[in-house]
Every structure is written in structure tokens, then in C-alpha cells.
Amino acid sequence: MNEVAAELAREEAYTGRPLKRVEDAALLTGRGRFIDDLPSSAGTLHAAILRSPHAHAELVSIDAAEALKMAGVAAVITRKDVTALTRPFTVGVRQPMQHWCLAVDRVRYVGEPVAVVLARDRYLAEDALDAISVEYRPLPPVIDPERAARADAPLLHPDVGANVVSDRSFAYGDPEAAFAEAPHVVGTTIRYPRNSVTPIECFGMIADWRPDDGTYEITTHFQGPFALHPVMALALKVPGTKVRIRTPPDSGGSYGVKQGVVPYAVLMAVAARVAGRPVKWIEDRLEHLSAASSATNRVTRIEAAVAEDGRVTALRYDQLEDCGAYLKAPEPATLYRMHGTLTGAYQIPNLTVRNRVVLTNKTPTGLNRGFGGPQVYYALERLMHRIADELGLDRLEVIRRNLVPKEAMPYRAAAGSLYDSGDYAATVDLAIGEGRLVGLLARREKARKEGRLYGIGFAAVVEPSVSNMGYITTVLTAEEREKAGPKDGAVASATVALDPLGGVSVAVASTPQGQGHRTVLSQVVADVFGLRPEDVSVTVELDTARDAWSIAAGNYSSRFAAAVAGTAHLAAMRLRDRLAPIAAQRLNVPAEEIVFSGGKVAARSNPENSLSFHRLAGASHWSPGTLGDGVDPALRETAFWSPPELAAPDRGDVINSSAAYGFIFDMCGVEVDRDTGKVSIDRYVTAHDAGRLLNPALADGQVRGAFANAVGAAFYEEFAYGEDGRCLNGTFADYLVPTACEVPEPEILHMACPSPFTPLGAKGIGEGNCMSTPVCLANAVADALGVSDIDLPLSPAQVMALIEPNEPPPPHAAAVEAREPGRALSGEGTATIAATPDEIWRAILDPASLARLLPGCERLEAIDENTYAADVTVRVGPVTGRYTARVRLSELQPPHSLRLDGDGGGTLGTGSGTAWIVLQPADGSTRIEYRWEAEAGGKVAAVGGRMLESAARLLIRQMLQRLEVGAAPAAKRPWWRKHLPLGKGR
């Protein structure tokens, strides 16, 4: 922190100031250019994707003939197209599994693409989806990672022979000895749920195929890492130069998620090739929430060897990472991103880790803000609280005692991360001082005296930025790595150019999605040339055919400020170094004398001796001949920079997984409502050390954004699945993104220990709160409730179950149905029907009357003894679903009991159910006792989960009525018939 620091500290410098953004004018006036705003060529086809309603099934057949007959439909893409034109995606572990861009032999999660319709517009394309018939043979799904890891679990990829596709163990230092010697071992088990910082703009792309040179051109808001560009090229079976990716000027948020466009980019590229026309696909919210991407859910057992004073001498992690149905590149990166940093902010010399990756019938996972950090820190920071509690020590004191001391910087953490700089203790002091911990303690005391539930939480977190491209190879053994060749570094690139009128332009491969990269780059580069930010124009659209990029390009791992902005600075400096001799010649002074300031280039000793920057900058265009001997023209500089500290993992699996490491200390007070379990955040303080801040206003914006995302993860957001693998959160009514009423304003504090390893001393800041905040809030809630086990999301029901595990019993036990909680839909009941058991039996067994009994049955045809094919239109209120179903009667005990099975699929997804029916004579009538179980998959489950069970009950009521109408002589119809005109109302 040398010359650059001095320069940045200059009074007139723009870097470091909270300038307004250059991006905003267009975005505020509706002139943004997002993917769906871009013009598309005439003849562009619009795609709609047919998706699996099953979590796990064999794909027996696909018949698109009817769809192809529909007006406006140009093509239907199915597995035969993708097997002809692509190959399965490259997988990060050595296992025989195949992930194609479209389901080929099986579907493995609800929402997996099965076919693509290309039509004149999206409306017609969706019409045609309904006309494709697909036959599935359902397989048992496995949703829970612990269950999936068991030997008897259904297998997703039979060729692998297990669902655990990677199992590695690591040891650093001497953990066994440390555990053996420790007076205390404290542990906890965490089940971290699935969620996603789902952007408000869904995926979108326009794909085209140029037959003349065999190039695929795809415009999409892919956010990187561009290491996935070769993955796309390999899947498309073409050289990398034949896959041209372009990004639109604007992207409506990503937070990692838009890394997930990759399989779709390949799919739509194929679609465009098959159709011979450009193809546009805009994902809708239902598709996005059910099938786009997700962070991993993880089961972690963590233990610490602890000395009497609370010092941790060793950590033991056992992590079971659930990546969903396929290991989609770059997974299992979520598990390894934090690998070098597993000891967090603490000086813990000994570490042992077991990492397993398991596949389940859920959406494949991918990048997500915080990437691996939330999962690790939830375990580690819960553990730190528990250590204090179990040893009877002060929680803050335990954190403090273990922090990496300032003197140890740069500090090599046990598993290899090289913490570049930081004063953790001072940052903690800043937070508790300016954040007024004293006040929080007083509020807690007061609240508790009044019988209210108030808790305080802390979290200390090291926030890594600029990922080492080699960290992911830690999943391989040293031998496997040797064979594959080393992977390391994190190349950033930037180009600075001068135009004939002396204008300065900057281009970077940073693919921002709202972080204001253009603003920051204009500040940084303006300072180099002594210009104003408005004199520098910045382009952030990327074109892989023309721009400078490398596999590390993109907008992830908080690499912009630390790596990209620094690289732009390097490029600008190089260009300045080329301009200086030209100026020197014109001003007749030595090049060292030249200063760039205030739009002028002048001699340091005699500022009057100057020329305008623009004149100088244009010189190499207009008069290269006058530059003089040995002076090169100054037109354009492209700089590439990779942090030298980022080596490949060594033979002992030591890996410096990131280039820079920020520090965060969070503290909060929360209050829990005793009656409702709702948590309100009283105060949230977050103290950051992200090195040098290039634009503090934008840095705070990143903190606030990540904080809001984390509030969502802590309390609201979860991708929940039924046991049968149905997705329960297909809409924003069920996937709960917090609003302005749920997100309070955090108090943000800053420390600045600049990084010695990054060009500008900056570190990442945008992900940290996704790591620190969920656990800080959970710690506070645990403190409020006095509980030691607590998992996310802290929904009111979950919190209430902790406050009050036992509820008052029902007044008379009989009124209550016995059922397993959380199971598929189920219920039981009784009804009395004015017909004899024999009459009812005949009505059920006779196909003609059975057809009348089943609500909405339009056709019933015997296909076997007591087995029928049926077309059924199910109606619940205005909602109608057409199903093609199979109905089977079995376990027949005439006229006493039987079992009725039905399953089918249709426009609303799939449904299946079983009813066990017992008929008891009762005074000329019949008492029917029934028990039922049902499952629903696909759309109706994803959007109507809240009402599914009520809907199932309604259908059963409809059926009972029909049974009674069908079986009973008209005169005997019971009174309630008149009062419940079910199935007739609207």
C-alpha cells in the first residue's frame, strides 16, 4: 500500500467517494436493456418447455405429433435431438453419470425439461405443451439427503451405484491429538435448508445457429464463471470458438443464480439449430422457482476440541452436501469454496473434515450469494455460542479469545486460506462500541423482567473474495489432480482504450447485474488520467468472440472490487505510462515530470506547461508518425491479472481458496412473540472490514442487499419438497421473499484494513451478510428461547414449537385424526349413506355406475379385471384439471371392504391416491368408513400447496355424494344432500 494508496488518498480522487451511479438514468426512465427488451430478428421462434411432474421416473415415450399439427408450432425438441447434437455435461467428480440438457432416459426432479416447443409466440407454444403426451414409469424418489446416503436408498444414477458421488476426508495439523487432549468436546448437528436469492428477472436468452460457419450464438445474462464456456462447447460438441456468448447491457439481478442458464443455453442452441431459426426463451416464475437453481442444503455435524478457557484447539466437520439430481458444473463447488476457510475467523490450528456429496430428487444446485458460506458459518457460529453455553463462559469472550490476532496477519488458516489483512478484535470492538451492545443488554434485561422473550446474537465471519479457480479440484485426490493437470489462479481482464477525440473507454468481463460496475470503473480510471468520471465510458456487455476474458471472468465470488477494478486500474496505468513519453516529448520535459490532473497533462514543476488530455490522447490515432523514435502509440491496453497467492491445492490438500478475506462482526437483538412465534429484529449491527472501499455508497448497498437476502433465508425462504418430491414453492405466494415490511435497516459500520494482495487494496463485500446474518439471527433467537438446537428457516410455526413443544390435548380424543405429520396428503372419515352395503357394492363394481361415482369421470373403459382407463376432469371451484387416469379396485371382500387406487397425469400435473373403504350395515343404511392417501405432483402442487389437502377432501366429499346418489334409491336420500350441493357450485 504504496503508491496506489497514496494516489487514491489524493484529495481530488473520485475513487472512494459515494458518487451517484451512471447506470441509474436509463434504469429509472424505463430505458434499461434487459434480455427480454432486446430486438430479435424476424422469424424468431418462442420456446416453452415441457417439464416433468415427477420427481423420479423412467421416461417411456414422448409423443409430440398432436402438438406439431397445431397452427404456429414450428418444432418440438426432444431427447432424440439432444442425443444427436450434444453430449452430457462434464461432471466435476469422476463418476459415470449423465446430465443432458433435456431428460433422456429418466427424469430426476420435478421440473426437469422433457421437451421444448418452438412456436410463433409464447402463448401458442404453451398451448402446444398441453398437446404433448409423455408416458412416465414412476420410480421411488429420495428427497432427504441422509436417507439418500443410505445403502438401501433408491438410486438416481444406477451406473454410479450409490447416491453419494464423492466422499473425501482431510486432516490438517494434528486434530486427533487435539481432540484426545481436550478437556471438552462440544458439538452440534445442523440441517441447513435449501433456498435461493432468486432474482426478480427470470432467465432469458436468444439463441441462434449459423450454419455457414457452424457457430452457436447465444445472447443471455449469464453471469459467469466463464469456466462454464468450455463446458457448453464440450456439450455442444464444437470448439470453444464456435460458441459465442453475448450478454445484454442489463441484467435483472443474479446473486449467483444466473450461472444456472448454462444447461438452457445449450438446450436453446440445439433448438435453434434444429428449427433453423433464432429461438427466444424467457423463463417464467413457476419454472424458475421449481427448477432453475438453488443453494445446497447441507447436514453438518461439527465438533470442537475446547480448552478450559474456551479456546478451540481443533475442529471436526462432517458435511453431507445435497446437490440435487445432478452434479451441475461447477458443483460441488459450494462445498469447497470455503474449504481453506473452514476455521472461520479463529486461530484454530487443527482441523479434520469429511465431505460427502449426495444426490437427491431435487433441483440441481448452483451458485448463490454467499456460496457455501451460509452453510459453514451457520454450523461454526452456532457452535461458538454453544461452546460458551456449555462451558459457562461469556459468548462474546469465547469469540474474542479465538479470533486470529492482528499480529498474525497475513495468517495461513489450517486448511490453507491466506488471510491477507484485518484487525478482527478491533472490528469487534467497533461493533459493540458504536453498535451499543450495552444498550442491547439493557433492553434484554428489561424485556426479560417483563416476561418477554428477547435475545442477543453474535456472529464473526471471514468473507472470502476472488475465488481460486483451483479450489474445486480439492474434491479430487492428489493423484487425480495430477492426472488432470493443475488448476489455479483467478484471471481478471480489463481493456482501456482511447478514441480519436481523446475519449477514454473501459471494457471488462465482469458481467454485472446491478452492482454499479460502470460507476466504480469510471471513478477508478478517471483518477488515473486526472479526468472526471463522466469523461470515462464503460461497457460491461461481454462478447466472448471479441472481448478479453478468461475462465475466471464473470460476476461471482465478490471479485469485482478486489480483482476487476484493480485490473482496470492496471490497464489504465499502462496506458498512462504510454501516454507520458508522448506528452514529455510535446512538453519538452522528461517523462517522469508528467502529471495527469484536471483534464490536463502538465509538467510537474511548471503546471502552465500543459496540454489538454484529449489532444494528447487522440495523438496516436491522428499522427502516429510524430510520436518520435522508440515511442509506441498509446491506443489501447488490455491487462490480465491473477493473484499470485492463488496456487493449486498441494499434495496435502492445503488450498488458499480465495485471494482476499474480509471480516464481518454482526450483533443483533431480537424479540420473539410468545403467542405467535414471530420474531422481530430490534436492532441489527453489522461491522465490515472489506479493505479499501471504492464507492462506499455502493458498498453499503451490497451490505443492505445481502442483509435482506439473509433475513429471507433466516425467517422466510425455503424450497420445501413433499416426501414424494413434489415442489411446494412454485410461486412467490409460497416462496416468501421478504418485503420492505420484513427487512429493517441494518446499522453498518466500517473498518478498513486494505488488502496487500489486491491492486487497489479492496476486498469483496457483497456476500458477507448472507454468511453472517442467518446465524447471527438464529443465535439471537436461541438466546431468547434458551434452546440449543435451532434450524432455519425460523418460521413462526418452527419457533412456536420451540417455545411450546406440547399443546393442550383435544377435549375428546375421538374428534382428531391420527396422522403422521408432514406425510403426503391423507385423511380418514365416515359417512352414512341411505343404501344397503349390497347396493353400494354393486354400484362400485359395475363400470357404468363406477363411472358416475367418480367425480368428473368422462370415460371409463375396462383394461383388465377391475382395472379401468379413465378420463377425468377434476373440479375444485373454478379450477379444472383434465387427467388421464388408471383406476383399480382390489382387496375385494364383498360386500364389506375394498381398496381403490387411482393415478394419472394431465395438464395440472400428476395425481395418485388410494382409498380403503369399509362398509358397515346400519339400519338399512350403510356406514362407510374410509381412509385415504393422495399425492399430487407438478403444477397444482407447486402453486396450490396451501389448498391441496382441502381440495382432496372436497373431491372425496363429491365422491361420497355421488356414491350415495348412485347407490341409494331416490326416496332415501339423506337431508344433508340438499345442504351441500357440492360439485355444482362455481
Partner 1 sequence: MPRLKAGQRHEVAFTLNGVAVRGEAEPRMLLTDFLRHVIGVTGTHVGCEHGVCGACTIRLDGVATRGCLLFAVQVAGRDVKTVEGLGGSDGRLSPLQEAFRRNHALQCGFCTAGILMSLDDFLEKNPSPTEPEVREVLSGHLCRCTGYTGIVRAALETAKGNADA
Partner 2 sequence: MKPAPFDYIRAGSVDESLDALHELGDEARILAGGQSLAAMLNMRLVRPTALIDISGLRELDRAETRDDAIEVGAACTQAALSHRLSREGRHPLLEAALPHVGHYQTRSRGTVCGSIAHADPSAELPLCLMALGGEVLLRSRQKRRRVPAEAFFLGVISTACAPDEMIEAVRFPLPKPAYGYAFDEVSRRHGDFALAAFAAIAGPRTIRMAVGGVADRPVSREWPMLEGAALDDALNAFAWELRGQDDQHATAAYRRGLVRKVGRRVIEEAMRCRG
Q: Is 800 in the site for partner 2 (CB under 8 A)?
A: yes
- Per-residue 3-state assignment (H helix, E strand, C coil) for 530-571: CCCHHHEEEECCCECCCCCCCCCCCCCCCHHHHHHHHHHHHH
- Asked if 515 is part of the footprint of partner 1 (rule: CB under 8 A), the reply reads yes
Q: Interface with ligand FES includes 814 (CB under 6 A)?
A: no
| Whole-Å CA distances, 164 to 55, 200, 362 | 18, 34, 15
In the list 6, 42, 740, 971, the residue contacting partner 1 (rule: CB under 8 A) is: 740
Q: How far apart are CA 198 and CA 735, in angstroms?
A: 10
| Shortest separation between residue 282's beta carbon and ligand FES, angstroms | 12
Q: How far is CA 150 from CA 146, 161, 787, in A?
A: 7, 12, 30
| # residues contacting partner 1 (CB under 8 A) | 55
Is the CB of 386 or the CB of 939 nearer to partner 2? 939
The verdict on 785 binding partner 2 (CB under 8 A) reads no
Distance of alpha carbon 473 from alpha carbon 825, whole angstroms? 43
34 binds partner 1 (CB under 8 A): yes
**Spatial separation of the C-alpha atoms in residues 742 and 739, rounded to whole Å:** 5
Choose the contact partner of 623 out of partner 1, ligand FES, partner 2, none; CB within 5 to 8 A by kind: none
Sole residue written with cell 433441483: 363
- What residue 676 binds from ligand FES, partner 1, partner 2, none (CB within 5 to 8 A, per partner kind)? partner 2
β-strand 825-833 against 925-937: which pairing, if any?
antiparallel
Distance, in Å, from the CA atom of 171 to the CA atom of 342, rounded to the nearest integer, reads 12
Amino acid at position 801, single letter: A
Specify the residue, 20 or 946, whose C-beta has the smaller distance to partner 2.
946
Contacting partner 2 (CB under 8 A), which of 199, 904, 945, 966? 945
CB burial readout 421-446, b (16+ within 10 A) else e:
bbbbebbbebbbeebbbeebeebbee
Laid out side by side, the sheet with 106-107 consists of 106-107, 57-63, 133-138
Residue 715 DSSP class: I
Rounded to the nearest whole angstrom, what is the least distance from the CB of residue 253 to ligand FES in the complex? 5
Q: How far is the CB of 289 from ligand FES (least distance, A)?
A: 12
Counting contacts by CB under 6 A, is residue 848 touching ligand FES?
no
Give min distance, CB of 330 to partner 1, in A: 22
Mind spelling out the 3-state secondary structure of 716-761?
HCCCCECCCCCECCCCCCCCCCCCCCCCCCCEEEEECCCCCCCCCC
Site string for partner 1, 247-276 (x = CB under 8 A): ---xxxx-x---------------------
Provide the pairing of β-strand 164-172 with 350-358. Answer: antiparallel
Go through 172-208 and write b for each residue having 16 or more CB atoms within 10 A of its CB, e for each that does not: bbebeebbeebeeebebebbbbbbbbbbebbbbbbbb
740 touches ligand FES by CB under 6 A: no
- The whole-angstrom distance between residue 792's C-alpha and the CA centroid of its chain comes to 16
Which residues 129-148 are close enough to bind partner 2 by CB under 8 A?
Answer: 130
Can residue 29 be called a binding residue for partner 1 (CB under 8 A)? yes
For residue 271, the 8-state DSSP code is H
Instruction: Write out 771-787 in H/E/C secondary structure.
Output: HHHHHHHHHHHHHHHCC
Does residue 965 belong to the site contacting partner 2 (CB under 8 A)?
no
Compose the 667-706 pattern: x for residues touching partner 1 by CB under 8 A, - for all others.
------------------------------xx-xx-xxxx
Q: Cite the DSSP H helix spans in 354-408.
A: 373-391, 395-402
The residue among 364, 372, 378 whose CA lies nearest residue 719 is 364
From 949, 965, 974, 977, residue interacting with partner 2 (rule: CB under 8 A): 949
Ramachandran region of residue 16, left (φ > 0), alpha (ψ -120 to 50) or beta?
Answer: left
- In the sheet that 610-612 helps form, which strands lie side by side, from edge to edge? 594-597, 600-603, 610-612
Per CB under 8 A, the list member of 28, 71, 200, 797 interacting with partner 2 is 797
CB of 248: closest distance to partner 1 in angstroms? 12
Q: Does residue 905 interact with ligand FES by CB under 6 A?
A: no
- Per-residue interface string for the shown chain with partner 2, residues 88-127, x marking contact by CB under 8 A: ----------------------------------xx--xx
The nearer residue to partner 1, 199 or 895, going by C-beta atoms, is 199
Binding mask of the shown chain, residues 499 to 528, with x at each position contacting ligand FES by CB under 6 A: ---------------x--------------
Task: Please say whether the beta carbons of 508 and 563 come within 8 A.
Answer: no
**Within 13 A of 371's CA, how many CA atoms are on the CB side?**
31
Q: Which is nearer to partner 2, 71 or 151 (CB)?
A: 71
822: left (phi over 0), alpha (psi -120 to 50) or beta: left
CB of 72 to ligand FES, least distance (A): 25
- Positions in 200-239 near partner 1 (CB under 8 A): 200-202
DSSP 599: T
Interaction between residue 200 and ligand FES (CB under 6 A)? yes
Among 284, 650, 804, 858, binds partner 1 (CB under 8 A): 284
Binding mask 676-715 for partner 2 (x = CB under 8 A): xxx-------------------------------------
Closest CB to partner 1 among 7 and 36? 36
The whole-angstrom separation of Cα 437 and Cα 441 is: 6
Element counts in the chain: helices (H) and strands (E): 27, 35
Residue whose C-alpha cell reads 421416473 in the numeric block: 57
Q: Which of residues 333, 387, 743, 955 is near partner 1 by CB under 8 A?
A: 743
Q: Which stretch binds partner 2 (CB under 8 A): 90-98, 279-287, 398-406, 497-505?
A: 279-287
Residue 675: contacted member of ligand FES, partner 2, partner 1, none (CB under 5 to 8 Å, by partner type): partner 2
Assess 946 for contact with partner 2 (CB under 8 A): yes
**What are the φ and ψ backbone dihedral angles of 45, each rounded to 5 degrees?**
-95, 150
Catalogue the long-range contacts made by 946-949 (C-beta closer than 8 Å, 24 or more residues apart).
Answer: 946/734, 947/876, 948/825, 949/825, 949/827
What is the rounded distance in angstroms from the CA atom of residue 562 to the CA atom of residue 22?
21
From partner 1, partner 2, ligand FES, none, interface partner of 743 (C-beta below 5 to 8 A by class): partner 1
- Which residue, 626 or 907, is less far from partner 2 as judged by CB? 907
Taking CB under 8 A as the binding criterion, the range among 186-194, 404-412, 430-438, 946-954 that sits at the site for partner 2 is 946-954
- Of 947, 972, 973, 974, the one binding partner 2 (CB under 8 A) is 947
920 binds, among ligand FES, partner 2, partner 1, none (CB under 5 to 8 A by kind): none
Using the rule CB under 8 A, is 804 a contact of partner 2?
A: yes
By a kind-dependent CB cut-off of 5 to 8 A, residue 951 interacts, out of ligand FES, partner 1, partner 2, none, with partner 2
DSSP bridge partners of 939: none
Q: Which stretch binds partner 1 (CB under 8 A): 34-42, 109-117, 434-442, 866-874?
A: 34-42
Distance between CA atoms of 892 and 273, rounded to whole angstroms?
55
Minimum CB separation of residue 939 from ligand FES in Å reads 18
Where do contacts with partner 2 occur on this chain (CB under 8 A)? 122-123, 126-127, 130, 284-286, 675-678, 716, 718, 720, 728-729, 731, 733-734, 736, 738-739, 741-742, 795-797, 800-801, 804, 807-808, 810-811, 815-817, 821-822, 876-881, 907-908, 939-940, 943-951, 953-954, 957, 979-982, 984-986
Where do contacts with partner 1 occur on this chain (CB under 8 A)? 20-21, 23-32, 34, 36-37, 122-123, 197-202, 250-253, 255, 284-285, 513-516, 697-698, 700-701, 703-709, 731-733, 737, 739-741, 743, 745-746
Where do contacts with ligand FES occur on this chain (CB under 6 A)? 200, 253, 514
